Structure 1
Amino acid sequence: MKTSVSTHKLPGYGSTLRTAKRLTEQAVKLVNRSVPGRMPDVEVVLTNERGMAELIVAADIALAGAADRRALKRATQGAKRAAREVQATAIPRPDGSTLILIDADKHPTPADFAVTLVHELVHAMQFSRKGVLERIVRNTRDALGIERQSRRQAREHERLVELDENEAHSREYLAEQLVPGARAA
């Protein structure tokens, strides 16, 4: 299990990057001990809203495996919407690793960052579980218009995403061990 932390289109955030590296190293160990599953290789990228949209598009296209112009347009629209709405996202990669994108501008304190990081690392652990990657790939291909999934598969995916989110939210208390006073909002 390797971890790396970097920035994308985020000049002048040196101290934020150093804090992120320190917290990521500690959070990976903490989440690995307390969440069932296997921690994959993790790449954490600190970026802004625009950079986040770019990286989401690239990750979705790589995950879907094929792309035409229509799929690229759908991916771009979805990524822009997601970048506006979320603070961070975890995306599995075809090689089994996980990309965690964090909007640095939406995390003013290390405590906020720690809560989000723990949440996304729980998702990384979930991606290693049996059948999860295949389900996410199938849903991504459907969202991009490459290959349709049945309504039953779509409903099952939504139900399981809700369960995964509940599990991730329930583990956010672990951030308290990284940064005293870190509380999930």
Structure 2
Amino acid sequence: MKTTVSTHKLPGYGATLRTAKRLTEQAVRIVNRAVPGRMPDVEVTLTTERGMAELAAAATLALVGSTDRKATSRAEREAKQVARGVLACAIPRPDGSALVLVIADKHRDDGEFAVTLVHELVHAMQFSRKDVVERLVRDKRDALGIERQSRRQAREFLHLLEQDEREAHGKEHLARQIVPAAAA
């Protein structure tokens, strides 16, 4: 399990990057012990809202294996919409690792960052479980208009996605072990 922390189109955030590296190292250790599964190699990237949309679209297209122009524009549009409403996102990669994109400007303090990081690392652990990545790929291919999935598969995906989100929210309390002031 290898962990890297970097920035993307975020100049002048040296202190934030150092803090992120320290918090990520601690969060990976804690989440690895508390959540069932195997922690994959994780790349945490601090970025802006626009940078998150750009990187998320590229990672999604690499995951679904599409270079179709229509799918590319849909992925970019969806990534921009998602980036407006979230603090971070975790995306599995074809090589088995996970990409965690964090919008640095939307976090007021270390405690909020730690909660977000723990939440996304729980999702990274979920990617190692049986059939999770396959379900995500199938749903993304359907959303991008590449390959249809049945209604039953779509309902099952939404149910399991809700379950995964509940688990991630339930583990946010672990952030208090990293930053005691973290409010989960």
TM category (shorter chain) comes to over 0.9
- TM-score of the superposed pair, with normalisation by structure 2: 0.99
SS at 1:135 equivalent:
helix
Deviation at 1:144, TM superposition (A): 0.8
SS at 2:147 equivalent:
coil
Q: Deviations over 1:62-118 (max 9, x none)?
A: 011112110011001100000001100000001110000000010120101000000
Cα distance in 2, alignment partners of residues 181 and 94 from structure 1: 36
- Partner in structure 2 of residue 29 of structure 1: 29
The count of aligned residue pairs is 184
- Partner in structure 1 of residue 130 of structure 2: 130
Query: Hey, which bits of structure 1, 4+ residues long, moved more than 3 A?
Result: none
- Partner in structure 1 of residue 173 of structure 2: 173
Cα distance in 1, alignment partners of residues 88 and 162 from structure 2: 17
Q: Which amino acid aligns with 2:94?
A: P
Cα distance in 2, alignment partners of residues 54 and 167 from structure 1: 28
> Residues 65-144 of structure 1 correspond to what in structure 2 (within 5 A)?
65-144=65-144
- Partner in structure 2 of residue 64 of structure 1: 64
- Partner in structure 2 of residue 52 of structure 1: 52
Q: Which amino acid aligns with 1:88?
A: A
SS at 1:122 equivalent:
helix
Report sequence identity in percent.
Answer: 72
